[in-house]
Structure 1
Amino acid sequence: MLNFIKVVIAFLGVSSIGFLLARWADQLVQDTRTKRSFVAQSAEPVEDLSPVDEIPERPIVGQMKAIVGSFLESQGKEGGFTLGRKLSALSLDELEEFYIEALSFDLEDHRAFEAAGLALQSIASQDPRRALELLYSLTPSEKARLATALSGGWAKYDAVSAWDWIDSAWIDDSGEYIDRDLQNEMFHGTLEVVLSEQRNYQLAADLLKTVMEPGLRLELANLIAFHVVSENPAQTLNQLDFTSDDLVDSAIMDAVIDEWAQRDSRGAMTWTLENQDQVTSKGARFIAKDLILNDVYQDLERFHSNLQSPFKRDSVASESARLFARRNPDVSISWLATIESSASRYNAYYDSLYEIGHDDFDSTVRFAELAYGVASLDREEALFGALQGWSVIAPERVHSYLDSSDALSESVRLSSLVNTVY
């Protein structure tokens, strides 16, 4: 028994010592692996992502950011004027840096695009090709917002090539159509530069000849007219090389005369009489209208009698008859009688009836009776034109008038009017 107990105790002792020795050996192996692994990791270069060693910002970027920030903090138009002065002192490279920096603020402030546009315009006024590269790198919506700025700057560099680019920009490089209103806006902006900054009216007129769209052509002709009249219209018109049978030249001249007559009807009349081949019948009509509205009746008669073209005389007389129809029917009839063309006389008569309107039946009938008696109009035609509208408004008045007139029994046309009434 004693021997058995000794054996057990000896076994337990050996096991404990073995367990301790095994645990110690395992820890030693782990420490060795850890040290090897650390040595292996430290042997490879590792990029240090510490913020202390960030790449420093270039000085020019900081300068442009400060200018952009100053503009965005400004209020009203003064900020734009101040920014314009600052941009004028920058080089092309600096302008491009400013342009890029301004666009980065787009999500923070909508005025960032305004700042970018001013920079792009300044770049285009010096290097249009560089400006185009910057514009074409944008998204379609961004291009649309900055295209007018580019075309305005390009016009300062070379209006003709800018105009050609706008005309060709109807289809962009991808083959997609751009907005027609945007294209028209660029045409307006470019022509405005030619007129207001360069005061080159002949170039403006030449550019307008390339415009095919009638509505846009009229708008641009009115823009030219406004600037011509705002200067010295007589002197400016004498410098222009206009062709009397050219539709574009006529459109510009009509717009100029219309604008001029509204401001100075006598001045426009005097110049027209001295340059009659330059002014159309429509232009003469504009002058007649403003002479009447300004109560310059003697000049109106002189203007009419001194016009060499019968078409222009008839145009003046027709406008006079129309405008006097309500205020003085007798004078209106007198002007109708001076119209040389039979077709023009009847057209003027109908215009005069329209001017009189349908306020008073007796006034309409009296005007018709005076017209066929004095202005050599056909009685039946004159009465039918006067009564046709009234047959719907007051049929009983028309029937009463025709029933008392001997013209009724003789006129098939007037009889048909009565049959329509009833």
Structure 2
Amino acid sequence: MHSILAHHSPATLPQRVAGLWARAWQSILMQATKKKSPPLAIPFLAGRREEQGTALLPPLFSGLCPQIIGAYSANQLHFTAERISALVNYSTSLPDSFLMAGRVEEQGTAPLPPTSSHYHHPVLADEVDEWMDAQPSDVILDGTLGGGGHTEIFLKKNATVLAIDRDPQAITFATQRLSAFRETLHTFQANYSQMAEHPQLPADGKVDKILLDIGVSSHQIDCAERGFSFQKDGPLDMRMGPNACMSAADFINESSEREILQVLREFGEEPQARRITQLIVERRKKSPFTRTGDLAGTIEQALGRFGKTHAATRTFQAIRMRVNEELTLLQSALEASVALLRPGGRLLVITFHSLEDRLTKQFIQHRAKPFIDDPTWPAPRENPEYFLTLPMRKAISAGSKELSANPRARSAKLRVALRNDRNLPTSYLS
């Protein structure tokens, strides 16, 4: 504001300042009166409702400006040199967190809470708690430990939890955070498809309930060094654990053009897959991709950016799913879950991607059919894989309260299945 006022003589300063305040607030009030706008009594969210990182403006702001608007509308806004000086000093002394509505590092995105207390926000926590219905006698297998949010819910119900995660950082963090439950928490570094190899399985090799929370954790996304995010520059890695067969850089720099195209189409469902693939192949001839910022910037520069979605979003998703073999391992984990559950046991699966949800839905619905049919058959036949029942067929999504607190839950879907009492054939999983 100093620089704005410096170009005007003292005689015109009152009119200039009044005009600036009026135009700004006129625009805000016009936006507030559009349809679907909340009542003015609702705290002002800088126009970015339900958007991650939106911070409430300080109360002082809401109290100060109506007075100014009221004075201006009543033609009572008279400035003396002292009042102008005080206003300028006040406006230039405001902290960044006030002027940017809490958006310190990136416009529209407030910093996440410290990782020491929030490694990962468990999604659908209330729904998981309700459908898992953990009991003190239960042995529950959490195939995706992460920060231990879901596991903590089960441990507080005095259940025994066998936790698995391929990320050694996640195991270290969760073990320390849940140290009070060291007697009933047993961790195992592996991917969830290896759940049958957990060293603390009961003698009969069965568990009562299983949770699979598929996808990348908030900590992995927010940690630039892990190489998952296109918003923060870091090494082009994307491995969820050290045992991944390749890094993202390996895939991008060494895979054939045909394989890259197939991955972007199938895993990313990217409409610009061919163009992006050709761009990657041509660019890597000059120098290999080693940084997330380099890859994201190259794609954005070529395709541009429309709306809120970054041009590299689907590409990064597809590469991550390929590097970590997510769909292949999910299929194996679902098969292993059926074999591991006791009769009456529960299987809960949380997915974040349409391909993962589709795979899970088809898997459990097929195994919940007593009979199957085919147009070439004279009559329906018994389903040899009828091992599940469905307490509800539709997926469960996050409610508005959770979405306002954790926007990353918007794509989460929870599906539930129960193990029936049919015996598995000895050939199952062999």
TM-score range, shorter chain: under 0.3
The answer to which structure, 1 or 2, has the higher relative contact order (CA under 8 A, 6+ apart) is 2
Task: Decide which structure has greater strand share.
Answer: 2
Normalized against structure 1, the TM-score is what?
A: 0.21
Bigger Rg over Cα:
1
